[in-house]
Amino acid sequence: MMQLSILDQVKHAALCMQRNNWEQGVLAQAFWEAGDRDTATRLAVEAVHRQQEDGRCCQIGGSTASTDPCAIGEALIGAARETGDPWLAQASEKLLRWAVELAPRDANGIVYHFDDSREIWVDSCYMLPPFLAAAGCYEEALRQMDGYWRILLDERKNLLSHRWDDATRTYPRRDVWGVGNGWAAAGMIRVRALLPAGYEAQKQLLESRIRTLLDAAFHYQREDGAFHDVLDDPVSFREINCGQMFAYTVYRGVAEGWLEERYLPYAEKSREAALASVNRYGLVQGVCGLPFFDHPGVAAEGQAFFILMEAARNMWKSVAAAD
């Protein structure tokens, strides 16, 4: 029997997992960036099969999320262009209408994470702005990212807090959650890559913010390459996925030519920790785990970011070999 590579085992395991709306989106994007556009398109098609009338995709289990259903957006746009299927194009337009017109938002127009509360989550940095940028709504993508940064930045730590409640004007969780800061770094680098000519100042601002997060986060990297679930809390559990997210960001940034190579040793160390965490079934263990992400376990997003990390590393290797 043919022996699968570790990456192929991770992909197979990912496709076997049940997925919520954001998990379907991040996995579709992972396959897209890994060059498997057919699988990404299949995932996008399934997302549209579960699209609500208001435009939100991948909806199962009565989800009230506002931004999570938009995580599929970039892959959905790509699938519509790749296939020329008007059904997929219409679905993309409906999702965009949700994002720019219907989704609930604060007084400054920043979209809440749910439709039944006024909370803003750091997760939304990944779920919403890249879709808006892919759809050509560059100013709106930047406005959302600016809002999340302004609301959630803990200036004492140069990291982002997890949750803000606009109703009570308090932080239900001010912790600098590792995966949350990974969502932000990965979301910003994707938005940056999607901005066209004429947005140089905005690109530089995103670059600066990414460096801010990476510098602060890597300060807390463990000797074994992993992090703690709450970056600055060594009592919180050992966690693998935020390292994959930071590594993905580093590899892309260096490959794109704007991020300094001094970050690469940290990324390589994170990658080694991730590789050592894959079991015989291709499950990346020790990530912030299902179903409530309050313990080390497995998760579809952990699988997806292993794939994204490897795709970005291959991009970096290809660029380095060409130089």
The confidence band for 2, taking pLDDT boundaries of 50, 70 and 90, is low
191 class by beta-carbon count within 10 Å (0-12 exposed, 13-18 middle, 19+ buried): buried
* Chain centroid, CA 210 distance in Å: 13
A 10 A CB-CB count for 173 gives: 16
Residue 157 has a pLDDT of 98
Flag whether pLDDT at 199 surpasses 70.
yes
The residue type at 190:
R
- Rounded Cα distance, 318 and 181, in Å: 27
Written as six digits, the tokens of 271 are 């990658």
Count Cα atoms within 13 angstroms, Cβ side, for 91.
29
SS3 81: helix
* pLDDT, mean of residues 193-213: 98
Mean pLDDT of 20-42: 98
CA atoms within 13 A on the CB side of 211: 12
Q: What angle do CA 75, 252, 225 make, to 5 degrees?
A: 110
Asked if the model's pLDDT at residue 1 lies above 70, the reply is no
The two structure tokens encoding residue 179? 């995966």
Q: Give the orientation angle of helix 73-83 with respect to helix 86-97, to 10 degrees.
A: 150
Q: How far apart are CA 77 and CA 199, in angstroms?
A: 22
Q: With contact defined as beta carbons under 8 Å apart, do 157 and 232 qualify?
A: yes
Of residues 308, 207, 206, 234, the one with CA closest to residue 267: 308
52 strand-pairing partners: none
Q: What is the DSSP letter of 33?
A: H
pLDDT given at position 323: 84
Q: In this structure, what DSSP letter does residue 3 have? A: P
pLDDT of 250 over the 80 cut:
yes
**Mean of all residue pLDDT scores within the chain:** 97
Which stretches does DSSP call E strand in the chain?
A: 119-121, 153-154, 159-160, 163-165, 170-173, 227-228, 238-239, 287-288, 296-297
Give the model confidence (pLDDT) of 87-145 as tens digits: 999 999 999 999 999 999 999 999 999 999 999 999 999 999 999 999 999 999 999 99
**What pTM value is reported for the model?**
0.98
Tokens standing for 7?
């990456």
